[in-house]
Amino acid sequence: MGEFVSVEVADQIATIRLDRPKMNALNAQVQRELAEAAALIDADPQVHAVILYGGARVFAAGADIKEMSDMSYVEMSAHSVTLQGALTAIARIGKPVIAAITGYALGGGCELALCADFRVAGESAKLGQPEVQLGLIPGAGGTQRLPRLIGPARAKDLIFSGRHVDAAEALAIGLVDRVVPDEQVYTAALEWAATFVGGPAVALRAAKQAIDQGLETDLETGLEIERLQFSGMFATEDAKAGMRAFTERSKPKFTGR
């Protein structure tokens, strides 16, 4: 759909593919195209799961430093809104999202991977937030999403040092969920995504929203978010079908309504 970001849908799984040679740097155009892809996929009822993929060689090496290096404070104040907004649009896709990580996922590339619900990495993948080595800090969600995922101490270690972690360490600290041979990354993500096809799409969206919104608030408010989402399920055809199938000891047929 875009010059550098495409969307391919097959078997109700959408693949958001980054293809900006050589390293999929996330310049302003890529950011806009990511936001457009997210909106398109989120609104498509035929899409049940999503894969983020940068190709067989690299996921995304980060933001476009050449584009940013001459920006003033005023210019970056405006640009950073677009940068964060693009990645937040990916994070808010109301369907399971899996990042298929090959090669480097650094800086903005790592922050993009953090927007997924799950991360599958190749054995030779490298992840990190190296912005401090440029005299900067992460600006696309790294200081917020990373500690929520792996804890503040581990996030500070990565952000303060700017070091890269390999796939084995990323798995050990919870930065990725699965590690597979490099050539199997996309296939593994596709197989995982397929487990959501034909599932209760409304319930999956509600569960994702309840978890993500609940993480941003206190327990009491989070429980209220859950209660409202849970109650709302009783207005759906899927819930009726699921409970009816349970009592009848049959397999439910969900329609996403």
* 181: CB partners within 8 A, 6+ apart: 122, 123
* Residues marked as catalytic: 111, 131
Q: What is the dihedral of CA 42, 47, 50, 54, to 10 degrees?
A: -90
Q: What per-residue confidence (pLDDT) applies to 69?
A: 87
Residue identified by tokens 């599932």 is: 199
The CA distances from residue 240 to 46, 201, 235, in Å, are 21, 14, 8
| pLDDT beyond 90 at 1 | no
Mean pLDDT of the chain: 95
Residue with the bigger pLDDT between 67 and 160: it is 160
User: Coil, strand, or helix at residue 121?
Assistant: strand
Q: How far is residue 233 from each of residues 215, 225, 228, 257, measured CA to CA in Å?
A: 21, 13, 9, 10
Mean pLDDT, to the nearest integer, of 94-108?
A: 97
Contact call for residues 10 and 50 (beta carbons, < 8 A)? no
Percentage of the chain lying above the pLDDT 90 cut: 90
